[in-house]
Amino acid sequence: MGKYFGTDGFRGEANVNLTVEHAYKVGRFLGWYYGQDHKAQVVIGKDTRRSSYMFEYSLVAGLTASGADVYLLHVTTTPSVSYVVRTEGFDCGIMISASHNPFYDNGIKIINGSGYKLEAEVEQKIEDYIDGKTEEIPFATRENIGRTVDFAAGRNRYIGYLISLPTRSFKTMRVGLDCSNGSASAIAKSVFDALGAKTYVIHNEPDGTNINKDCGSTHIESLQAFVKEKGLDVGFAYDGDADRCLAVDEHGNVVDGDLILYVCGKYLKEIGQLKDDMIVTTVMSNIGLYKACDKIGLHYQQTKVGDKYVFENMMENGYRLGGEQSGHIIFSKHATTGDGILTSLKIMEVLLEKKTTLGTLTSEVQIYPQLLENLRVTDKKAVLEHPEVKKAIAEVTEALGSDGRILVRESGTEPLLRVMVEATTQELCKEYVGKVIDTMKRIM
Q: Which residues are catalytic?
A: 99
Spell out the residues 6+ positions from residue 138 whose beta carbon is closer than 8 angstroms to its own: 32
The C-alpha atoms of residue 211 and residue 288 are separated, in whole angstroms, by: 32
Q: Which amino acid is at 270?
A: E
Spell out the residues 6+ positions from residue 147 whose beta carbon is closer than 8 angstroms to its own: 64, 69, 70
The C-alpha atoms of residue 185 and residue 182 are separated, in whole angstroms, by: 6
Beta strands 69-75 and 105-112, pairing class: unpaired
Burial tier of 171 (Cβ tally within 10 Å: 0-12, 13-18, 19+): exposed
Contact 252, 224 (CB under 8 A): yes
214 known ligand binder:
no
Taking the CA atoms of 357, 361, 364 and 365 in sequence, report the sign of the dihedral they define: negative
239 known ligand binder:
yes
**DSSP letter string over 235-253?**
EEEE-TTS--EEEE-TTS-
**DSSP letter string over 276-321?**
GGEEEEETTS-HHHHHHHHHHT-EEEEE-SSHHHHHHHHHHHT-SE
| Percent helix, percent strand, percent coil in the chain, to nearest 5 | 40, 20, 35
207 known ligand binder:
no
Q: How far is CA 341 from the centre of its chain?
A: 12
What are 202's strand-pairing partners? 178
Q: Which amino acid is at 123?
A: E
Nearest to 233 by CA among 200, 195, 202: 200
241 known ligand binder:
yes
Biggest CA-to-CA distance, the chain: 70
Q: How far is CA 54 from the centre of its chain?
A: 23
The C-alpha atoms of residue 441 and residue 389 are separated, in whole angstroms, by: 10
Beta strands 105-112 and 9-13, pairing class: antiparallel
* Binding-site annotation: residue ranges for Mg(2+): 99, 239, 241, 243
* Binding-site annotation: residue ranges: 99, 239, 241, 243
